[in-house]
């Protein structure tokens, strides 16, 4: 029954044959990525064990490389991404051997290289930007609606429906509670991961709204008021139902950066935001030190216990990470400190697993992309509908959120998709094109304009 995973592969191949890789990527892979769990896998003897989205993207990736190879202009971001994937794969191979490393090596191809390169090669016009964003948002709205059941009853519908097909898999993912509320996880297995995905969708939805890309396309929905308000409200409700403070904080920081795009004097606004974050960082450290200082005889709150645990965890594991600084200890073979097996900080976890080299490459990739997006955004005309600032705010949100959770499940391919997408956008912005040119699909059939919502 677990081989139901390969239905995504068959659907992708059929879509490739009929409509080409762009259609298959946006209309097949993206819904599979956002609507089906990554924790369920087809355990295949002698081969890596793919998840739904990994099995779906491989044929699309191969087709994109072959059909769009002439369009590819290599960039620094491409090199950083490839070096990151190779470093992680080599780290695991050198620490554990091929038999244990094959699944992670495959994951680097299917969850890092493939989504990045597909977005990089296939989303090469403004029409693709709009449709990709719409599909991403629509899938996340559906996740939010279905997740109301988990918020109310504490039962994850995706695990309830798909669990019987994968006996013994995904059992470690359970509904967590905070402040008496069940935290929704949807198909993303953990509430914080769900918060990150929904926060990405929120930023894309706001861009679609500000650019006026919603209302003309939602005439079939008979709802009072603006359709975009219903979409935004649904996503905001989903983000709140995760009760995940990391994505909340990251989303708030991303929103502050979006404020830069709303005014004419953007450079001045940027420096105001930088100063704000500098003051907030210093003030936050002072406040945290005071918060963690528990007076004798005082009773610690649950939040204080969690904060003290994270501080002690960082101090103890930093020493271990430095011992194998360059290539780490391996994904599951790093030394565990008793009582601190769970590391809720991806930067520390990545340094432990695959070394400071992999960590540095990932941070450099995010920083390089962020700098270029901000530079591009400052050159644009004043207005809220800035795709440059939208991408930049997403990167900032994910960067902050990864300080509270690991980069795993669907968040990894979704994030690298969002890194490959703006790389295409930035290169495209430097290449003059003929405005008003028709949208053509890969096989000469009607393009996105005729076949998508």
Residue 429 has pLDDT above 80, yes or no: no
pTM of the full structure: 0.90
What is the spatial distance between Cα 5 and Cα 51, in angstroms, rounded to a whole number? 6
Is the pLDDT score of 439 beyond 60? no
Tens-place pLDDT, residues 53-86: 999 999 999 999 999 988 889 999 999 999 999 9
pLDDT at 290 over 80: no
Average pLDDT over residues 271-284: 83
Could you give the maximum distance between any two Cα atoms of the chain, in Å? 75
Residues 373, 103 contacting (CB under 8 angstroms): no
- Residue range 310-325: mean pLDDT, rounded: 83
**3-class state of residue 178 by DSSP:** strand
- Judged against a pLDDT cut of 50, whether residue 446 lies above it is answered with no
Count the neighbouring beta carbons within 10 Å of the beta carbon of residue 139.
19
Tell me: pLDDT of 453 over 60: no
For 446, counting Cβ atoms within 10 Å of its Cβ (0-12 exposed, 13-18 middle, 19+ buried), the class is: middle
Percent pLDDT > 90 in the chain is 54
- Is pLDDT above 60 for 257? yes
Region 415-438: mean pLDDT is 74
The 10s digit of each residue's pLDDT in 218-244 is 666 666 667 788 899 999 999 999 999
Give the model confidence (pLDDT) of 360-388 as tens digits: 999 999 999 999 999 998 888 766 678 99
Q: What is the mean pLDDT of residues 142-159?
A: 95
Give the model's confidence band at 172: pLDDT under 50 very low, under 70 low, under 90 confident, else very high. confident
Least confident piece of the model among 158-172, 232-246, 271-285, 322-336: 271-285
| Interval 193-207 mean pLDDT | 95
The answer to whether 359 and 351 have CB atoms below 8 angstroms apart is yes
> What per-residue confidence (pLDDT) applies to 431?
62
What is the C-alpha to C-alpha distance for residues 199 and 397, in angstroms, rounded to an integer?
8
For 26-54, what is the mean pLDDT? 92
Long-range CB contact pairs, 187-191, < 8 A, 24+: 187/34, 187/35, 187/36, 187/37, 187/38, 187/143, 187/158, 187/410, 188/37, 188/38, 188/409, 188/410, 188/411, 189/37, 189/38, 189/39, 189/409, 190/405, 190/409, 191/242, 191/243, 191/244
């Amino acid at each position: 029954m677990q081989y139901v995973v390969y239905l995504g592969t068959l659907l992708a191949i059929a879509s490739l044959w009929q409509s080409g890789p762009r259609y298959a990527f946006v209309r097949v892979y993206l819904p599979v990525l956002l609507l089906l769990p990554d924790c369920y896998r087809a355990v295949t003897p002698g081969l890596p064990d793919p998840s739904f989205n990994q099995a779906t993207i491989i044929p699309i990736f191969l087709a994109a490389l072959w059909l769009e190879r002439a369009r590819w202009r290599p960039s620094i971001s491409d090199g950083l991404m490839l070096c990151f994937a190779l470093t992680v794969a080599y780290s695991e191979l050198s620490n554990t051997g091929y038999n244990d490393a094959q699944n992670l090596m495959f994951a680097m191809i299917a969850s890092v290289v493939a989504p990045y390169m597909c977005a990089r090669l296939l989303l090469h016009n403004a029409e693709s930007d709009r449709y990709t964003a719409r599909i991403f948002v629509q899938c996340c709205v559906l996740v939010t609606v279905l997740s109301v059941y988990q918020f109310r009853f504490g039962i994850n519908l995706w695990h309830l429906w798909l669990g019987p097909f994968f006996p013994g898999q995904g059992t470690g993912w359970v509904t967590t509670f905070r402040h008496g509320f069940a935290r929704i996880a949807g198909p993303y297995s953990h509430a914080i991961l769900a918060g990150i995905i929904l926060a990405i969708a929120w930023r894309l939805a706001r861009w679609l709204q500000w650019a006026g890309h919603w209302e003309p396309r939602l005439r079939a929905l008979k709802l009072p008021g603006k359709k975009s308000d219903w979409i935004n409200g649904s996503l905001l409700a989903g983000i709140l139902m995760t009760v995940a403070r990391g994505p909340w904080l990251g989303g708030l920081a991303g929103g502050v950066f979006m404020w830069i795009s709303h005014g004419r004097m953007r450079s001045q606004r940027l420096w105001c935001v930088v100063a704000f974050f500098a003051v907030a960082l210093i003030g936050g450290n002072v406040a945290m030190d005071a918060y963690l200082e528990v007076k004798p005889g005082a009773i610690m709150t649950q939040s204080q216990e969690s904060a003290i645990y994270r501080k002690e965890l960082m101090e103890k594991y930093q020493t271990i990470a430095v011992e194998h600084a360059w290539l780490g200890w391996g994904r599951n073979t790093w030394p565990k400190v008793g009582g601190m097996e769970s590391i809720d900080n991806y930067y520390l976890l990545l340094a432990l697993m695959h070394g400071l080299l992999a960590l540095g490459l990932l941070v450099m990739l995010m920083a390089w992309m962020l700098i270029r997006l901000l530079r591009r955004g400052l050159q644009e005309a004043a207005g809220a509908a800035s795709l440059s600032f939208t991408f930049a705010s997403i990167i900032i949100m994910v960067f902050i959120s990864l300080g509270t959770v690991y980069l795993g499940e669907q968040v990894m391919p979704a994030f690298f998709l969002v890194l490959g997408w703006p790389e295409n956008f930035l290169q495209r912005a430097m290449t003059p094109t003929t405005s008003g040119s028709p949208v053509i699909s890969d096989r000469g059939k009607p393009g996105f304009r005729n076949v998508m919502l």
